[in-house]
Amino acid sequence: MPNNQKITALYCRLSHEDMLQGESNSITNQKDILTKFAVEHGFLNHQFYIDDGYTGSDFNRPAFKRMLEDVEDDKVSTIIVKDLSRFGRNHLHVGLYTEEYFPQRGVRFIAINDMVDSAEGENEIAPFKNIMNEMYARDISKKVRSDCRIRGNCGEPLA
């Protein structure tokens, strides 16, 4: 498929834990940011892939898998995310996709807020951000489990 006919994949993700962080990480906000960036930078043939309520530490997400199928079918030229944490919170998998898989398939990867753009070469800070994103996911998971345990021990309903 010619590059000018390929899709610009706009990927959004929000986990249940991220919902606690408020509006700044909402799917609606991500879509607005991604649309504005895509239009301003000439990425007009864009399509959303949205995983709402899925953790970033696991890449077994329906929209993510559909996006990868489109990459495999040579339908995607560029993937744009709000930031690296929206793409994923497992530093090894994020690095595998952004540093190996996408470049091998000629797919440009952009993380807007982290100023990552594979067309500009390697970003030396991205691996450190990925590690911090993974550590955040582990920390919030521990806090949620601890809160549930405390509430359960106090006899409060957990649903």
pLDDT by residue for the chain (159 residues), tens digit each? 667 789 999 999 998 755 555 544 589 999 999 999 999 999 989 999 999 989 888 899 999 999 999 999 999 999 999 988 889 888 778 888 998 999 999 999 999 988 888 877 665 654 444 445 454 444 454 544 545 455 556 666 655
The 10 Å Cβ neighbour count of residue 132 is 14
pLDDT at 34: 97
pLDDT at 156: 65
pLDDT at 158: 59
pTM for the model stands at 0.75
pLDDT at 125: 56
pLDDT at 137: 45
Cα 101 to Cα 11, 40, 56, 89, 90, distances in angstroms: 16, 27, 18, 17, 15
Q: CA nearest 90: which of 124, 129, 58?
A: 58
pLDDT at 147: 52
